[in-house]
Amino acid sequence: MRTVLLIIQKEFIQVFRNRMMLPLIFVVPIIQLLIIVHAATFEVKDARICVVDHDLSTTSRKLVSTFEASPFFQVLGYSADYKEAEKLIRANKADLILSIQAGFEKQLLRERYGQVHLSINAINQQAAGVIQAYSMMIIRDYNRQLIVDWIGRSTPAQARMIPVEYAYWFNPELSYINFMVPGILVLLVTIIGLLLSAMNIVREKEIGTIEQINVTPIHKYQFIAGKLIPFWILALLELAFGLTLGKFLFDIPMVGSLWIIFMTAAEYLLVVLSYGLFLSTVTNTQQQAMFLAFFSMMIFLLMSGLFTPVESMPAWAQEFNRINPIAYFIRIMRMVLLKGSGVSDILKPFLSLGVMALTTLLLTVWRYRKTV
Amino acid sequence: MAESAVVTENLSKHFGAVKALDDISFKIGKGELFGFIGPDGAGKTTLFRILTTLLLPDGGKATVEGFDTVSEYRQIRRISGYMPGKFSLYHDLSVEENLRFFATIFGTTVSENIHLVQDLYSQIEPFRKRKAGKLSGGMKQKLALCCALIHQPVILFLDEPTTGVDAVSRKEFWEMLNRLRRQQITILVSTPYMDEAGRCDRVALMQSGKIMTIDTPQGIRQQFRKKILAVKGRDMFGLMKILEGFPEIERSYLFGQSLHVTGVSEALTADDLSARLRQQQAPDFRVEEITPDIEDCFIDLTATRE
């Protein structure tokens, strides 16, 4: 026990003596939360429309002005020629073309049927999807307005429509921030934990101090425990700091119990830190450890559902997430913070994390060799 | 030499095709100051790593204080002090912190054992708050030795402690080792410097993973039965050229300021060689017979084996 405490003490001295470390630990979360949370959003604002209106009727103009009135669209200009408008899309100056054919109004009046054409720049398919959905919504609203205007209130046409009302549970305003902050906090503790641990033992290898440690009677488990606990404490403090920032800067909901959050984090960090130390034992230079850490973090992170929903991934990817600790932790974070899930709700992912923690920990202790 | 501190029997280790240690057997007595002398790549570090239980041998066995390096490595780690060739203390910890760390990890305290290293530590004590990485080379080495001694080891492994250290510090270091020997600590030290051989009780000359000979420095010199003639002159290169052409000369090599020459037969005297050189109109030279140095013995042994 005394030996473990000794190593812990030594690690803390070294961490705090490293001039980069303290700013890193406290500045990184602030920057991450401020930048990523605001920047990484699916909302599309000010999509640029180029209008090709060959009809130039009251009806067509009304449609265009509905688009203009929407905060999501910005009319870039009018063009008489569809080819010209296409050029704007190619030059990435416009995001979509709204083209209305000549005779639109007449056809609509005569045949009760009209057509508009939308061309959307889909270089970013996600943005294109959002723009399409917004456009459809505007056109539908406009359509309904037309019916009301022309047919009048006397007809029962309106009654035939089924009104759909939406209620978004657990995130009523569909706030992107509420969705992102818990995920970003996971990202934060993962980066800090994984990098600190992955670089640690291998650093001692590079400097040569490991040689001196290895000839001492210290036990393997003492060494690993002494290495793990300091980073574990640091990462948990980091999480507390991040949660505080999230609360005060973004007022993210904290419906569930913070105890559950920290219990899960403690368990999750065991997985991350022992994986980091494992990387550290199998590599010979900090560079190798860094590459491996980044590579695995990227994969686990992008698969985890932080940015893209797991539900839309192929089946094999969803299967992969069974062994993805980040996916479990993000899920639990969102469940507890947004929904207020209790222990019984998160028991399964919690136990899965526990199994992973135990496995990686044992693997690391086993893999660490005192002989070279 | 009552009891043996270190015994190896047919110890071998290879890395791929390279034989780092080739069938090495020797015994080192308790309290001996024993030197392993040989050039880089002779296998000194590999041998030390096996003896300090950091490396497993491929063949043969070794014991340290009666403990097997493979099956009883735990006991060996408790009683031995090791100073690797590369400075391997924590650069970002202070002198004091390093010392305390290594004392505690061995389950002892600095205050309990400071008397063991008192005269050594008193030299670095003024810098005890300084980070180890900021010490000078000689200071680092003293600190490393302190850290290796702080748990009162009975045997000390020093791997090339004087490599890259200035001449004054080297001399000081050997004086410290001499004082330590009086405390009955067995000391194994490796060095590529032949001139340090004379400071050891006994030395082993190593080359390409083999031990060529083990003896006292005196004994090694006596083993060398050949006559060494030293040739000095203004134009050393010219002299070397001329000497290479003489059939009666076994070999000649540059040694400090002079050329050392051994004859094919014992009969070759300084006068003979002078006469031969004069015959070749060698300019301005002097030949004298000298007592062989350890390095002469080393060169001879190496050449004979080849």
Mean pLDDT of chain B: 86
A217/B91 touch (CB, cutoff 8 Å), yes or no: no
A209/B54 touch (CB, cutoff 8 Å), yes or no: no
- A146 and A103 belong to one structural domain: yes
Residue with tokens 């040989």: B38
- A108 and A206 belong to one structural domain: no
- List of residues 6+ apart from B261 with CB closer than 8 A: B228, B229, B230, B231, B243, B249, B251, B252, B273
> Average of pLDDT values for B48-72?
92
Q: For chain A, what is the domain count?
A: 2
DSSP code, position A102: T
Reply yes or no on whether the pLDDT at B306 is more than 70. no
- A33 and A59 belong to one structural domain: no
Reply yes or no on whether the pLDDT at A211 is more than 90. no
**pLDDT for residue A326:** 93
What is the interface pTM, i.e. ipTM, of the complex? 0.77
Last residue of a domain, one of A109, A124, A159: A159
Looking at the complex, does the CB of residue B89 fall below 8 Å from at least one CB of chain A? yes
- List of residues 6+ apart from B176 with CB closer than 8 A: B119, B120, B142, B145
Last residue of a domain, one of A124, A159, A194: A159
Q: Does A165 map to a domain? A: no
- Give this prediction's pTM: 0.77
Please give the residue of chain B at the shortest CA–CA distance from A223: B105
- Identify which has the larger pLDDT, A174 or A188: A188
Question: Residue B238 corresponds to which tokens in the numbers above?
Answer: 């010219």
Question: What is the rounded CA–CA span in Å between residue B145 and residue B99?
Answer: 10
- A188 and A332 belong to one structural domain: yes
- A91 and A216 belong to one structural domain: no
Last residue of a domain, one of A159, A188, A205: A159
**pLDDT for residue A162:** 67
Closest CA to B6 of B43, B45, B47, B42: B47
> Average of pLDDT values for B233-262?
80
- For residue B105, list chain A residues with Cβ-Cβ distance below 8 A: 3, 6, 213, 216-218
Residue B288: pLDDT band with limits 50, 70, 90: confident
- A94 and A111 belong to one structural domain: yes
Closest CA to B190 of B156, B228, B216, B236: B156
Q: Does A225 map to a domain? A: yes
Poorest-pLDDT segment among A354-368, B12-26, B106-120, B290-304: B290-304
- Identify which has the larger pLDDT, A239 or A370: A239
Closest chain B C-alpha to A207 CA, distance in angstroms: 7
Give the nearest partner residue to B101 out of A6, A18, A207, using CB atoms: A6
A211/B84 touch (CB, cutoff 8 Å), yes or no: yes
Write out the DSSP string of chain B.
--SEEEEEEEEEEEETTEEEEEEEEEEEETT-EEEEE--TTSSHHHHHHHHTTSS--SEEEEEETTEETTTTHHHHHHHEEEE-SS--S-TTSBHHHHHHHHHHHTT--HHHHGGGGHHHHHHHGGGTTSBGGGS-HHHHHHHHHHHHHTT--SEEEEESTTTT--HHHHHHHHHHHHHHHTTT-EEEEEES-GGGGGGSSEEEEEETTEEEEEE-HHHHHHH--S-EEEEEES-HHHHHHHHHT-TTEEEEEEETTEEEEEESSTT--HHHHHHHHHHTT--SEEEEEEPPPHHHHHHHHHHHH-
**pLDDT for residue A259:** 92
**Neighbour count for residue B234 (Cβ, 10 Å):** 9
- For residue B84, list chain A residues with Cβ-Cβ distance below 8 A: 208, 211-212
* Residue pLDDT, tens place only, A269-311: 999 999 999 999 999 999 999 999 999 999 999 888 887 778 8
Side chain identity, residue B251: R
**pLDDT for residue A163:** 65
B87/A208 touch (CB, cutoff 8 Å), yes or no: yes
B 162-221 residues inside an 8 A Cβ radius of A? none
- A190 and A334 belong to one structural domain: yes
Q: What percent of chain B lies above the pLDDT cut of 70?
A: 99
- A87 and A151 belong to one structural domain: yes
- A179 and A214 belong to one structural domain: yes
B88/A211 touch (CB, cutoff 8 Å), yes or no: yes
- For residue A220, list chain B residues with Cβ-Cβ distance below 8 A: none
- For residue A216, list chain B residues with Cβ-Cβ distance below 8 A: 77, 102, 105-106
Q: Does A124 map to a domain? A: yes
Question: Residue A323 corresponds to which tokens in the numbers above?
Answer: 């062994």
**Domain carrying residue A138:** 47-159
Q: What percent of chain B lies above the pLDDT cut of 90?
A: 31
Closest CA to A240 of A1, A10, A5, A25: A25
Reply yes or no on whether the pLDDT at B99 is more than 60. yes
Question: What is the rounded CA–CA span in Å between residue B249 and residue B239?
Answer: 13
Poorest-pLDDT segment among B119-128, B134-143, B290-299: B290-299
Q: Does A164 map to a domain? A: no
Q: Does A111 map to a domain? A: yes
Closest chain A C-alpha to B241 CA, distance in angstroms: 46
**Residues facing residue B8 across a β-bridge:** B26, B62
Q: Does A232 map to a domain? A: yes
CATH for A57: 3.40.1710.10
DSSP code, position A310: G
B54/A370 touch (CB, cutoff 8 Å), yes or no: yes
- Identify which has the larger pLDDT, A121 or B276: A121
Reply yes or no on whether the pLDDT at B219 is more than 90. no
- A37 and A54 belong to one structural domain: no
Closest chain A C-alpha to B56 CA, distance in angstroms: 7
Cβ atoms of A292 and A213 within 8 Å: the answer is no
